[in-house]
């Protein structure tokens, strides 16, 4: 909708083999303005216990791909 304001928030618990990383990308209308805020494990972070992972936090333009690290196991994510 033109001239609308949206807040989109999601929380993901991600784990998996050490060979893959998660990336977020946003596609928005060409005249859209705003930022995406990120908080999560840094792209180089891997840990089977998830108790000492390097974090990333920041604000980026819509066109910026953000790559996250993850637990390198897929059990006990909660």
Entry pTM = 0.64
For residue 78, is pLDDT > 70?
Answer: no
- What per-residue string of b and e applies to 41-69 under the rule 16 or more CB within 10 Å gives b? bebebbeeebeebeebeeeeeeeeebebb
- Considering the chain, what is the average pLDDT of its residues? 79
Tokens of 42: 């840094």
pLDDT tens digits, one per residue of 3-36: 888 888 888 877 776 667 788 888 888 888 889 8
Kindly tell me if the per-residue pLDDT of 50 is higher than 60: no
Q: What percent of the chain has pLDDT over 70?
A: 77
Please report, for the chain, the start and end positions of each structural domain, with discontinuous segments joined by +: 1-78
Distance, in Å, from the CA atom of 35 to the CA atom of 44, rounded to the nearest integer, reads 23
């Amino acid at each position: 909708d033109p001239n609308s304001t949206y807040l989109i928030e999601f929380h993901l618990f991600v784990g998996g083999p050490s060979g893959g990383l998660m990336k977020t990308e946003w596609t928005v209308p060409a005249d859209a303005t705003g930022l995406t805020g990120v908080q999560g494990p840094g792209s180089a972070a891997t840990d089977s216990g998830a108790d000492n992972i390097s974090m990333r936090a920041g604000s980026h333009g819509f066109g910026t791909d953000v790559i996250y690290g993850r637990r390198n196991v897929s059990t006990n994510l909660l």
